[in-house]
Amino acid sequence: MSESLLQSLKSVYTGRLFTDAIDKQPYLLDWRKRKQGVALAVAEPDSAEGVACVVRWCAANNVVVVPQGGNTGLSGGGTPEPAETAALPAVVISLKKMNRVRSIDVVNNTLTVEAGCILETIQEAAAQAGRLFPLSLASEGSCTVGGNLSTNAGGVNVLRYGNARELCLGLEVVTAQGEVWNGLRGLRKDNTGYDLRDLFIGAEGTLGIITAAVLKLYPLPASRQVAWVSVESPDVALQLLGLAQAKLGAALTAFELISEVAHGIVLKHVPNSRRPLADVSPWYVLMEVVDFNNDEACTVALQAILEAALQASLISDAAVSSSEAQYKAIWALREDVSEAQAAEGKNIKHDIAVPVSQVANFVRETHELVAAAFPAVRMVTFGHLGDGNLHYNVSPPLDQLHEEFLKNQDAINLIVHDSVARFNGSVSAEHGLGTLRRDEAARYKSSVEMNMMRAVKQALDPHGIMNPNKVLAV
């Protein structure tokens, strides 16, 4: 049956197609190497019509469609089902070949790109035109904008510019029926009906496949500086955030919280990393300030906020970048936490959000609950304090085998996510639900909300072929 299906697919689709096991393998294993899927084939179309051709064939032959970007996701959303649970054959549609920058409109401050464009490539294209595309993630050298939009990615600049959703004005989408919807309108005002664009952003390919997007651009700052600051606790960090926002306004573009545990893992595993400050602190804040005029104005603004924070006894010490090399080195201490954790070994990850005002209370109460149930675990807490999103990871005690520790995952997830719910938060802030968080999210959503989500899925994908069992259980 598989061979006849492949021959049928080849008869209608003449683009790049991988069918050999060794060629398919990179597309069937998730980034964390915890989920191995199966697929009849991997298609790599180079146009929206090529994507539509494959989807039409899948719809006609009852074959599952699994869209995939850079395969850097952390929740399993871009990986097909494993053999033991796959009810139908699947085709992975990789968007890697759809990687063109179609146009840049500097007057409208927009850029139109295909879904397979690497995020870093988009940033560079914008910079060459004298503009800024502010979405910035640790994986920006390999993740694609289609994946960013499909998971409504956040990153470090949400405080100033918003999530991927806020940075997108229009989409081109291949529907579950294999039709191409051209919604590539670079309009900031368009009140002509339902906002179809927002249905597909954050849907993880379960309603259709994003093939291109119109993105917002911003003026390119003349100067940017970053400070690494010692603080006593998340409570103090929140006070510092309030002070910084009051004095800096939109010039404050990032405000990150990093625990000493997270910082120590980076120093242990990342070559050439070093402490910016002489003394160890239980917590640190990384804040970025930009100016659209010159370096001096940026320096004055950052120094003023640090002096005010010192006078208010909110910080004990600070290191400020004075060159691009120092700027990148300080940012690396934050961006390398995930890589360092992977080198440290297995851990239980959480990508949670609570109201900014409740971050300190959440950290304090949840730390106590986790430590009471699992003594000696290491809380590797870091993330985007400015928008209430924490990567709240739990590493095993130093003397416990990692595989043994992972048996506690469900119990630890329950403690953490119940706490998130008490604080009226979300169990997935920017990584998406995929399969990893699908059932967790459903536990905390009302039946009304779940029924509305199922109704949308049924309306746009009535045959259930678009990335099934992601976001919603079949």
253: CATH = 3.30.70.2190
Does one domain contain both 227 and 323? yes
The answer to the question of residue 282 being in a domain is yes
β 378-384/218-219 pair status: unpaired
User: How far, in Å, are 78, 172, 177 from residue 116 at the CA level?
Assistant: 13, 13, 21
> How many residues in the chain?
474
The answer to the question of residue 50 being in a domain is yes
What confidence category does residue 51 fall into, taking pLDDT thresholds of 50, 70 and 90? very high
Does one domain contain both 185 and 257? no
Asked which of 1-5, 107-111, 223-227 is least confident by mean pLDDT, the reply is 1-5
Check whether 293 has a pLDDT greater than 90. Answer: no
Look up the pTM and report it: 0.93
Q: What is the mean pLDDT of residues 358-379?
A: 96
The answer to the question of residue 470 being in a domain is no
- For 73-108, the pLDDT digits (tens) are 888 899 999 888 888 899 999 999 999 999 999 999
Does one domain contain both 253 and 279? yes
Does one domain contain both 213 and 110? yes
Domain total for the chain? Answer: 4
Does one domain contain both 286 and 358? no
Check whether 402 has a pLDDT greater than 90. Answer: no
- For 246-258, the pLDDT digits (tens) are 999 999 999 999 9
What confidence category does residue 1 fall into, taking pLDDT thresholds of 50, 70 and 90? low
CATH number at residue 6: 3.30.43.10
Check whether 3 has a pLDDT greater than 90. Answer: no
The answer to the question of residue 215 being in a domain is yes
The answer to the question of residue 277 being in a domain is yes
Q: What is the mean pLDDT of residues 178-200?
A: 95
β 64-68/90-94 pair status: parallel
- For 133-150, the pLDDT digits (tens) are 999 988 899 999 999 999
Does one domain contain both 111 and 202? yes
Q: Are 444 and 215 in contact (CB under 8 A)?
A: no
Q: What is the mean pLDDT of residues 373-399?
A: 94
Task: Tell me the two tokens of residue 262.
Answer: 């997270």
Domain stop point among 94, 119, 153: 94
For residues 240 and 30, which has the higher predicted lDDT (pLDDT)? 240
CATH number at residue 359: 3.30.70.2740
The answer to the question of residue 452 being in a domain is no
Check whether 225 has a pLDDT greater than 70. Answer: yes
Amino acid, single-letter form, for residue 438: R
The answer to the question of residue 389 being in a domain is yes
Q: What is the mean pLDDT of residues 412-441?
A: 94
Q: Please give the pLDDT value at position 182.
A: 97
Check whether 57 has a pLDDT greater than 80. Answer: yes
Residue whose pair of structure tokens reads 């900031």 in the numeric block: 188
Q: Please give the pLDDT value at position 32.
A: 78
Does one domain contain both 215 and 227? no
Does one domain contain both 239 and 301? yes
CATH number at residue 138: 3.30.465.10
Domain stop point among 196, 219, 242: 219
- The Cα 281–Cα 179 span in angstroms is 56
What confidence category does residue 158 fall into, taking pLDDT thresholds of 50, 70 and 90? very high
Does one domain contain both 252 and 322? yes
Q: What is the mean pLDDT of residues 24-43?
A: 90
The answer to the question of residue 460 being in a domain is no
For residues 397 and 32, which has the higher predicted lDDT (pLDDT)? 397
Q: What is the mean pLDDT of residues 23-35?
A: 88
Domain stop point among 306, 338, 370: 338
- The Cα 249–Cα 157 span in angstroms is 14
Does one domain contain both 171 and 257? no
Range of the domain at 215: 101-219
Q: At what angle do helices 409-422 and 359-373 cross, to 10 degrees?
A: 150
Check whether 177 has a pLDDT greater than 70. Answer: yes
Does one domain contain both 18 and 46? yes
Does one domain contain both 290 and 359? no
What confidence category does residue 224 fall into, taking pLDDT thresholds of 50, 70 and 90? very high
Task: Tell me the two tokens of residue 375.
Answer: 């003594």
Neighbours of 195 (CB within 10 A): 11
Phi and psi at 348, nearest 5°, equal: -105, 115
Q: Are 78 and 120 in contact (CB under 8 A)?
A: no
Average pLDDT, the chain: 95
